[in-house]
Amino acid sequence: MKRKMTIGIIGLAAYAMTVAALGFSTSASASFREVHAGICHYRNDALGSSLDNRGELKNTGSTTRQVYCPMVSDSTLSLTSVDSLTVYGHEGTNGAKSRVCSNYVSGPSFTCGTYKNWSNNNGVVAANVSVYEWNVNRRDTEFRYMRHDLTQNSSVYGMALRQD
């Protein structure tokens, strides 16, 4: 009987220490967001069938197309705290590239970061794009988006954002 009681007390103490350790943990978990390319659009509505938006956004035309993707910044994941942004796609002819941009209500109308060239290997790419532009001004009226320059037969599947 004494042995069962000792084992029970040890078990209860271990349980209490585990609960306390979890309660006092100060490390924040990482946040992430995946954004499907289906929210992206061409710069105007008159492109016709040369931009296919079924599960991916693919440029089937013969010239480079600029594609814009709005990005959401909210209390779940603020874009000013994003540490990494990876663009997933399939590269077609002559390379493709991506960059982050911001649109401002009051001057300048928009600014963009530096382009990240895709790997130019005619295959699936995961391009890590700099988010520096999104963290420079941090205005309340700064609306963030991505720009992808898709060459012939290039596709963008989506973007993955992460805050560590």
The three-state DSSP-derived secondary structure of the chain is: CHHHHHHHHHHHHHHHHHHHHHHCCCCCCCEEEEEEHHHCEECCCCCHHHEEECCCEEECCCCCEEEEEECCCCCCCCHHHCCEEEEEEECCCCCCEEEEEEEECCCCCEEECCCEECCCCCCEEEEEECCHHHHHCCCCCEEEEEEEEECCCCEEEEEEEEEC
Q: How far apart are CA 102 and CA 112, in angstroms?
A: 6
Q: Which carries the bigger pLDDT value, residue 10 or residue 106?
A: 106
Structure confidence at residue 75 as a pLDDT band (50, 70, 90) = confident
Global pTM exceeds 0.85: no
Structural domains in the chain plus CATH codes = 29-163 (2.60.120.260)
Indicate whether 56 pLDDT > 60.
yes
User: pLDDT tens across 82-127, in order?
Assistant: 999 999 999 887 789 999 999 888 766 888 999 999 876 666 788 8
β-pairing, 155-163 with 57-59? Answer: antiparallel
pLDDT of residue 27: 47
Q: Calculate the average pLDDT of the chain.
A: 78
Q: What is the pLDDT of residues 64-74, one digit of tens each?
A: 989 999 998 88
Which residues make beta-bridge pairs with 104?
A: 142
